[in-house]
Amino acid sequence: MVATGYDQYLPPQFLYGSGIKMSVVNPLSVKRFVPMKLAHINSDKSDARAIREYARANGFRRYDGKGALQAESLKLLALMNIYLQQRTPIKNKLHGQKVLAVPSKVVHKPLKRALQIVDRELESLNGRWLSFVKLPGKNSFPI
């Protein structure tokens, strides 16, 4: 199976739970492999053939299933990444306001509030994520 977006999570979990052996592959590595085989035909059949040849040439790691905590952890990390991406332009704009000779209070206050909100959310999500990682026993998983 080629991993693409959110489609990559549920089908492998279902197949793994049903006892079907499978592997999830990065689509970019398969895409880079296909031109080396000089395959120019784009069809489902030729794509399946290319994935099969890729697996034969490179081997593959069998999918071992993700536990509920690991899946939740991945979702939390993705959300934290979104907040970090939002935080950077806010901080840059705040810094720009500070270097101005006459900073605008109308602009500065909402930016400061927005940064505080994002920071609180990040702190909360980070605490939740750390609680998953630090769980003792079977439910914890290595980073």
* Residue of 34, 32, 24 whose CA lies nearest to 4: 24
Question: Do the domain assignments include residue 143?
Answer: no
pLDDT on residue 6: 64
103/93 Cα distance (integer angstroms) = 11
pLDDT on residue 143: 46
Which tokens in the block code for residue 116? Answer: 């505080």
Kind plus residue range of the DSSP H or E element containing 73: helix 68-99
Residue 2 per-residue DSSP state = B
Residue ending a domain, among 36, 58, 80, is 58
0.85 cut: is pTM over it? no
- Read off φ and ψ for residue 39, nearest 5 degrees: -90, 120
Q: Could you give the count of Cα atoms lying within 13 Å of 92 in the half-sphere of its Cβ?
A: 6
**How many percent of the chain have pLDDT more than 70?**
83
Instruction: Find the Cα–Cα–Cα–Cα dihedral 59, 64, 72, 1, rounded to 10°.
Output: 50
For 87-132, the DSSP string reads HHHHHHHHHHHHHSSS--HHHHHHHHHHHHHHHHHHHHHHHHHHHH
The tally of domains found in the chain comes to 2
Question: Do the domain assignments include residue 142?
Answer: no
Which structural domain range is residue 24 located in? 5-58
Residues sharing a CB contact under 8 Å with residue 85, sequence separation 6 or more, in sequence order: none
Regarding whether 52 and 10 lie in a shared domain, the answer is yes
pLDDT digits (tens, 9 = 90+) for 10-69: 777 788 888 888 887 777 887 787 776 655 667 778 778 888 888 888 887 887 777 777
Which tokens in the block code for residue 42? Answer: 């784009």
Regarding whether 79 and 52 lie in a shared domain, the answer is no
Residue 63 per-residue DSSP state = P
